[in-house]
Structure 1
């Protein structure tokens, strides 16, 4: 015999005590005995939702709504279950009447549903409407901030400044404002704001990671190193639902390859919680005439990715592959964008589509192989790739580390980039390309640069340069460079001009090392064509130690400027070594900072040796595989055919080395 009030109270107590299984068993008995007891049925549905058993909860909510079609609790809970099942479009009609009746949480849920559908403008308007109706609703402020920081950081700053004024004691809002300031390169303000966030709530792990970047950008190395030690110590104590540092940001700090894999695994779980239901894929022929390969990227625009891969699609052999370019990023209207559109067999713009809609479109196109060119970088869509739109999924180029994602089968590397000793840094099977993993535009003859005097450089003396972004400039790298300048009289270091505070601190650090600040030559940022024209005015390019040059390394070699690097212990510090091996100058790869110092000083003091080196590089460039996009495309096609043959035969992914 059931006692409804008693049994409901008991079930509630069990659920609150974490005893979900007996609570569900009791509620199921009550519902079986009294099927029209809506309170019991709702309690059962709610407990199922809380347990993550969303599909089982929905029939109970439907039963309630069949009897009480306007029951607000049932409508809201059903919408919640649908959203958890990636069915946000179905949730919206349930939530709208509740929001119109004045329910703030329903309006918040509408914003969240629209955001999950990638309808960012509509989501932002829902959050703004919520804030107008209920100015104190913290969820509206936080979610609007999250959306704008990711999609419109310029608009995020005034919105979050208003939120901080309304909620001055909420650390998360300060953290979001700091992140928006960081995105807009307002590093000093970001430092102050992120510091305040951590004062208010030391548990805000993302704020710690963003503050780490702000310290790097302002050359505050003492504070940076203390924060790095804290974040590193916390890697073995991950906080569910919180990410201390992204994989992309972690590349700039001395995490080892095993730690990077751990960070990437945490990001995979953070970005794609649970196990999303894959999209339906049509049956694909085991031996299609050409393979259908989809390249997915947010960076089909004037971006470093296109400065490398801009010629690739045009050189693919259409008898071997059909090329789909799927964009998930902004359209900047540039020639780079138009090059992708013109040279792909099908161009798809997914920038406003939901992950599921975009993934289903790729699946419907019969894609054999999906190549994710970003993984976790800005505007990346790991949620789309996690829906498995293709039988074979490959990570390449955008992320200089393992994805540690269960939805990625392969990563494209090369033998220098990932030697056997570093194999355990990757969760994926590896495709190792013999001539290097990095694509490049076709080589063109190098023209004479402008006179050094026009560039603010001395006519005499050795010009060392490094055009890496300042995120790559750590204390150890700068100290090494100062040792090189000290040992080569009259030499200068030519770099991109940093923000004012960083410049002051770098010049102070140079002075402490005995180097006059005027030996640091600050170059303005220029459009890529103008930058490439000035590059040959340098004698030698010096690589950074922790996260080395990637696109900038290729630029240096392309323009005939010898590049010195120290091959580190993880992929991000071995890209320049890969390029030098591919071009045929392995003697410019040092195995330690001391060896790099000796190499740089030796070349700096020996003008004939520098001249000979430059002549050798110039002779290698016209025939170099590194700048032969047709050959690179053919290598990729061979790799694609091999991995597809395994997949078509039902075999799991495994390492493949092309010779």
Structure 2
């Protein structure tokens, strides 16, 4: 936001009078200043000299000259007003505003005085005081463009956006080249998602002021929003070349590099933002901390976020940064506490609410009913107001026609979800189904290109608002729309809440309910959701398939090697899951296993971060396990991740938040996984995967049984070796490893659900 600076009162003899009368100055208010010269001083000449000094930026000299005028006439309103402007511009805002107010007591109808006072109120955040002052200025002179522009700013900050836009437009109508009004209007239109008009408006500013760094910066943000990150990078880089001391420029450039998957450039600009030799606001520190948290740089995230919160304990970004950091390092209760604060600070932010639900999903401190109620509260807050958009679907009710299927995800790239949806997209019957993919990300890689080749229609949609994506899906006439995210990152649940398709299904991305009444079904299986166990905690109807997923890599995996422990290697357990899933309770149980299996060790993945290493080493040490028994591996490529299993004998599943992709990959590599099942869907993922490959005896129902399974196979290497050598075949023989058959089952289910919907529409049709 660039505030309109206080303008200089016009005081030349032949200029319009600043009081707004429409008369020339010499025929109006000049008479108020014309006195008999004192000590042979021509008061008017001295006033004009003072104004020229002010306009040249010689503020101290101008102040001296204006004070000489007041020695002659203490009630000289213009001199007092100018002294107020000088104090204000020199940083003495309180005394400056006091003088501006005093000048108005002498000349209360002066439109210029009123507008300048309103602008000063704006700059000092006193927007409610500015509004009546500026409206009075406009009443005195309806064609005063600066007053309209200043009023626009006051209204904007007061949340009266439509009125603010009208004021800016009026200022521009009066003065088409009013750069401040154009800039502020462009930024406001941007904030209201009116992107096209915002771009046109801001481009006019650049025509007027080619070196306007803030304007170029916002054009960069708009380019990113419109799906052109490369142009955004060019524009923001240009803004930095014009004003390199703006940390917000570097920070936003870092965010764009992060979205493009360029961590080195991301960190470079974060460091540049932090290194600028200016006092950093809490906001900047908090945003840097939040971005470090998203990058997995948790030590830096903690440092910046804590410093930010010492400056402002109610800083949203600070609590989000600490929430994400604590979540990622396994401190779930601390993460939940920070996110609960964040939801109070931003109660209408659906993304933050979704993140909190995702954290609560894995917490043992909340029971199943309370968790379900939290999801229903999300629906009451965000879905209920959108139900007015629900309309009778106009899709053809022919039950045997070709169906349009839409998949919505931010993970159509090298992401675990892609491993599960890839074989479905590849095997869809194009004779019976037209496939649309709505991709809610900008990342492009080999996986996204492959998935794009399987889709009949590929729709990048990150830059689309919820209303725009809703309209696009309706134009596409989608029959069945599938959400692959649930309450995970970059979900589009608020689009589903608008009910753009007749049938809506959630699947794969989130092991639980969305809470939305607009979501008709959730795909699952008998292992994840045994009949009667979780149905009552879902807003959706559960559809139990033979398995909840199929799976397919986009490359040939490494070979399954002989059991490492039979080759003389120390018996190796592992947990290669994300550390956000590893609770202190898990570590306590795994420490017990290590104590009862002499010489064994345990491998962890994704452990390059110092905060993660310290937590593992210190927590295991508290249970008497030396760091020498821990193998800490860094984040690696998917292929190298699979190859790690050639050194692993048995994998240990975290609980209550079980692994999903990690467990599937372990079984593919011949490594069985000990899992502890619970009553919640998210704590039964391991049971589903191990059941699908015929190893239900590896599913424990108590911590003691979990330990017993580990000890049993530690002592029976021959049995463990037989399982290892058979697991990949078991995997391929199951529905998990037969994507063609599984896709046929999915398509048959789609057809059944569609036939049911069509019959319902026929029953609802009025009799003729």
**CA shift in 2, pair 1:621/1:397, >3 Å:** closer
User: For residue 315 of structure 1, what is the aligned residue in structure 2?
Assistant: 427
Residues 1:240 and 2:347 are matched in the alignment:
yes
Name the counterpart of 1:499: 608
Per the alignment, residue 203 of structure 1 pairs with: 314
Shift of 1:459: 1.9
CA distance in 1: counterparts of 2:165 and 2:302, whole angstroms = 46
Is the Cα contact below 8 Å between 2:670 and 2:726 reproduced in 1?
A: no
Of residues 593, 598, 623, the one that matches 1:484 is: 593
Residue from 305, 308, 327 that aligns with 2:439: 327
Aligned partner (choices 620, 632, 654) of residue 510 of structure 1: 620
> What is the aligned partner in structure 1 of residue 654 from structure 2?
544
Aligned partner of 1:96 among 203, 206, 212: 203
Determine whether 1:170 maps to 2:277: no
1:232-631 alignment runs, 5 A limit: 234=341, 237=344, 239-240=346-347, 243=352, 246-247=355-356, 254=364, 256=366, 283-287=394-398, 289-330=401-442, 332-334=444-446, 336-349=447-460, 361-374=472-485, 377-378=488-489, 390-404=501-515, 408-418=519-529, 420-423=532-535, 425-426=537-538, 428-441=539-552, 449-450=560-561, 459=568, 462-496=571-605, 498-499=607-608, 501=610, 502-503=612-613, 505-522=615-632, 527-529=637-639, 531-532=641-642, 535=645, 538-607=648-717, 610=720, 620-631=730-741
Higher RCO (CA < 8 A, seq sep 6+): 1
Quote the Cα distance in structure 2 between the aligned partners of 1:73 and 1:276.
40
Separation (CA, whole Å) in 1 of partners of 2:305 and 2:339: 19
Shift of 1:300: 2.8
CA distance in 2, matches of 1:490, 1:551: 29
Which whole-Å CA distance do the structure 1 matches of 2:258 and 2:556 have between them?
42
Residues 216/170 of structure 1: CA separation in 2 closer, same or farther (3 Å cut): same
Q: Any conservation in 2 of the 1:452–1:459 contact (CA below 8 Å)?
A: no
Contact (CA 8 Å) 1:315, 1:630: kept in 2 or not? Answer: yes
Q: 2:751 aligns with which of 641, 646, 650?
A: 641
Q: Match of 1:433, SS?
A: strand
Give the one of 231, 238, 242 matched to 2:338: 231
Contact 2:246 2:273 in 1 (8 A): no
Alignment RMSD (CA, Å): 5.2
Whether the 8 Å CA contact 1:179–1:190 is kept in 2: the answer is yes
C-alpha change, 1:59 and 1:492, in structure 2 (3 Å) is closer
Match of 1:187 among 298, 302, 325: 298
Structure 2: runs of 5 or more not aligned = 1-107, 762-768
Q: 1:323 to 1:432 in 2, by over 3 A?
A: same
Contact 1:296 1:372 in 2 (8 A): yes
Sort the Cα spacing of 1:430 and 1:47 in 2 relative to 1 into closer, same or farther, 3 A.
Answer: farther
Q: What is the correspondence of 1:210-221 to structure 2 with a 5 Å cutoff?
A: 210-214=321-325
Q: Could you tell me whether the CA contact under 8 Å between 1:145 and 1:173 is conserved in 2?
A: no
Question: 1:656 matched to which residue of 2?
Answer: none
**Structure 1 segments unaligned to the other structure (5+ residues):** 652-659
Q: How far does residue 382 in structure 1 lie from its aligned partner after superposition?
A: 5.9
The structure that has the greater radius of gyration is 2
TM-score, normalization: structure 1? 0.76
CA deviations over 1:61-102 (Å, ceiling 9, x no partner) = 767766654566765675466446533102221233235447
Per-residue CA distance 1:16-50 (angstroms, 9 max, x = gap)? 9999xxx9xxx9xx99xx99999999999889877
Distance between the aligned counterparts of 1:263 and 1:482, measured in 2? 34
Q: CA separation in 2, counterparts of 1:545 and 1:484?
A: 15
Q: Are the equivalent residues in 1 in contact too, given 2:259–2:442 (CA < 8 A)?
A: no
SS at match of 1:310: helix
Deviations 1:268-293 (A, max 9, x none): 99999986998999953222722111
How many angstroms apart in 1 are the aligned matches of 2:395 and 2:456? 19
1:480-509 Cα distance to aligned partner (Å, 9 max, x none): 111112122343323336226344553454
- Counterpart-to-counterpart distance in 1, 2:505 and 2:548: 13
SS of 1:498 mapped into structure 2: coil
TM-score (norm 2): 0.67
Deviation at 1:378, TM superposition (A): 5.0
SS of 1:292 mapped into structure 2: strand
The question of whether the paired residues in 2 share the 8 Å contact of 1:373 and 1:395 is answered with yes
Task: Tell me if the contact between 1:583 and 1:625 (Cα under 8 Å) persists in the aligned partners.
Answer: no
Distance apart, 1:106 and its partner CA: 5.2
Q: Judging changes above 3 Å, is the alpha-carbon distance between structure 1 residues 385 and 141 closer, same or farther for their aligned structure 2 residues?
A: farther
Matched position secondary structure for 1:436: coil
CA distance in 2, matches of 1:559, 1:83: 50
Aligned residues of 2:560 and 2:669 also touching (Cα < 8 A): no
Quick one: distance in 2 between partners of 1:203 and 1:545?
33
- Count the aligned residue pairs: 633
User: Residue 657 of structure 1 aligns with which residue?
Assistant: none
1:442 touches 1:627 (CA, 8 Å); kept in 2? Answer: no
Instruction: Verify the 8 A CA contact 2:376 2:515 in the aligned structure 1.
Output: yes
SS of residue in 2 equivalent to 1:323: strand
How far 1:321 moved relative to its partner?
1.7
Shift of residue 231, structure 1, vs aligned partner:
2.9
